[in-house]
A and B are shown apart, each in its own frame.
Chain A
Amino acid sequence: MFEILLNHYPVLIKGLTTTLVVSLSAIALGLLFGVLLAFGLTSRSRWVRWPCGLYRSFWRGTPILLQLLLVYYLLPEIGIEVAPITAAILTLTLNTTAFQSEIFRSGIAHIPAGQIEAARMAGISAWQTRRRIVMPQVLRLTLPPLTNEIITILKNSSLISVIAVTELMRVSEQIASRTFQPLETYLAAAVLYLAVNLVLARISAHLERRMAGGLATE
């Protein structure tokens, strides 16, 4: 395993970089769309709530591999040619948007209604209320489940190797077939995934402690 890590670290690191770029782009885009979808899910209008709920239900209720294949094969079918990596980021984004929206929705539900009523009374616009009052608190409340989601997406990004994106898993497959040492190679890949996820979990725990400190002084 160490031999593999030592001999092939340049390609492994390159693969890992692609894994990180794809996952983190999806997470960042998912954060944006997830927040919007959460507002849709908590909307007062049934006509907004219902399609949002259907979207969430589909993307949370089917395997991500199937979603990836559907997006990857469907886009050319309707005349849109995209690179595999774009299809990969698109699928992971569509998927994580649904999961993140649910996280944010439950976070929004934890904000006392009185705060929003008070804001309205004080003449603060709905948009300002969301941006300045609701979201900062929601982000703090949802940090632990959000970290879990980031780790899940990082792990799920391994399956984009199926559509030939040369991320960590794909690179490992290539090394394994060249060196005939699949066990050692995949162990090395496992160690790299584990290391990244442990670091992420640490950062999140640190942030959580700092934010909890912020809450206590309020």
Chain B
Amino acid sequence: MFDLALLWETRELILQGLWNTVWICFLGCLVALSLGLVLAALRLSSPRIFGYPVACYVEICRGTPLLVLLFLLYYGGPSIGLRLDAEIAGVTGIGLYGAGYFAEIYRGGFKSIPKGQLEAARMLGISPWHALTRIQIPQMLRLIVPPGTNQLIILVKESALISIISVDDLTKNATTIVNQTFNVIEPYLAVALLYWMIIELIARGGYALEKRLANRQPRHTVHQGESAHANG
């Protein structure tokens, strides 16, 4: 029932779709991760003027579908002189949308570090920069890896929507094959498996990173028997 030959014949379309999905997701996630960090920093910065606009931005990302954002960029953009290729609109959409979620994840990470630690650092004469890079960021990283991995996975799955604005990604090319060969199951299931693989890779990566970061805990929490140089 499952026709593997069909998949072999259409391998070029599938691989092209895979490549497009991968690079668009990669760039989109990169934009989301970096813009999210900027937004979180603005929200937490001491002059509070940025707090409210960033909070609004986050609410907008959470409350509107990515599809609407993609349509705004791709179909609405030209009326204000913003002409984007479908691929670039996809990267921008995923980036802007994901940034709202990542801003919250970073903020949650920073917020969960006890204030006492920073006060203690100041008492000990540690500079704010050192406190940030040696105390806050290492702890924050450990906290944000699990929700961050989750969010990356969500973005990869949502990236299927770029097929609707005519990007030749995995989903679009699967539909093309379905329309050409009148076989529904094979293309869609094969593509579903590919998405599943990408997601599993991200999940494994996140898990490995989490373990690595956990190993870098202060010495005294290292269990006896584990040697200190294993922390590398």
Tell me the A residues contacting B by CB distance below 8 Å: 58, 61-67, 69-70, 73-74, 77, 151, 155-156, 158-159, 161-162, 169, 172-173, 176, 181-187, 189-190, 193-194, 197-198, 201
How many residue pairs at the A-B interface have CB separations less than 8 Å? 115
Nearest chain A CB to B71 CB, angstrom units: 5
7 nearest A-B pairs in the assembled complex, by CB-CB distance: A183-B76, A63-B160, A197-B63, A158-B65, A194-B63, A182-B75, A155-B65
At the interface, yes or no: B142 with Cβ under 8 Å from chain A?
no
Q: Could you say which residues of chain A place their CB within 8 Å of the CB of B184?
A: 70, 73-74, 77
CB pair A187–B76 under 8 Å, yes or no, is yes
Q: Could you say which residues of chain A place their CB within 8 Å of the CB of B72?
A: 182-183, 186-187, 190
Q: Could you say which residues of chain A place their CB within 8 Å of the CB of B59?
A: 194, 198
CB pair A151–B164 under 8 Å, yes or no, is no
CB pair A186–B164 under 8 Å, yes or no, is no
Chain A residue with Cβ nearest B162: A65
Which listed residue, A67, A159, A185, touches B164 by the CB 8 Å rule?
A: A159
Given pairs A66-B171, A162-B164, 12 additional interface contacts (CB within 8 A):
A58-B192, A58-B196, A65-B163, A69-B178, A70-B189, A151-B62, A155-B64, A156-B65, A161-B67, A190-B64, A193-B63, A194-B60
Cβ proximity bits B38-59 to A, threshold 8 Å, 1 near / 0 not: 0000000000000000000001
CB pair B199–A61 under 8 Å, yes or no, is yes
Nearest chain B CB to A126 CB, angstrom units: 33
Q: Could you say which residues of chain B place their CB within 8 Å of the CB of A193?
A: 63-65, 68
At the interface, yes or no: B29 with Cβ under 8 Å from chain A?
no
At the interface, yes or no: B80 with Cβ under 8 Å from chain A?
yes
Query: Bound complex: CA of A193 vs CA of B39, how far in Å?
Result: 23
Nearest chain A CB to B117 CB, angstrom units: 27
Chain B residue with Cβ nearest A158: B65
CB pair B71–A182 under 8 Å, yes or no, is yes
CB pair B157–A63 under 8 Å, yes or no, is yes
Query: Bound complex: CA of A185 vs CA of B67, how far in Å?
Result: 13
At the interface, yes or no: B120 with Cβ under 8 Å from chain A?
no
CB pair B192–A159 under 8 Å, yes or no, is no
Cβ proximity bits B177-192 to A, threshold 8 Å, 1 near / 0 not: 0100000110011011
Query: Bound complex: CA of A69 vs CA of B64, how far in Å?
Result: 22
CB pair B160–A186 under 8 Å, yes or no, is no
Greatest chain A CB density within 10 A among B174, B178, B184 is at: B184
Query: Bound complex: CA of A62 vs CA of B195, how far in Å?
Result: 6
Query: Bound complex: CA of A161 vs CA of B171, how far in Å?
Result: 16
Which listed residue, A63, A73, A169, touches B195 by the CB 8 Å rule?
A: A63
Q: Could you say which residues of chain A place their CB within 8 Å of the CB of B75?
A: 176, 182-183, 186
CB pair B160–A66 under 8 Å, yes or no, is yes
At the interface, yes or no: B85 with Cβ under 8 Å from chain A?
no
CB pair B164–A69 under 8 Å, yes or no, is no
Nearest chain A CB to B57 CB, angstrom units: 12
Nearest chain A CB to B193 CB, angstrom units: 8
Nearest chain B CB to A99 CB, angstrom units: 11
Query: Bound complex: CA of A186 vs CA of B70, how far in Å?
Result: 10
Which listed residue, B64, B77, B164, B174, touches A66 by the CB 8 Å rule?
A: B174
Query: Bound complex: CA of A156 vs CA of B157, how far in Å?
Result: 11
Nearest chain A CB to B100 CB, angstrom units: 12
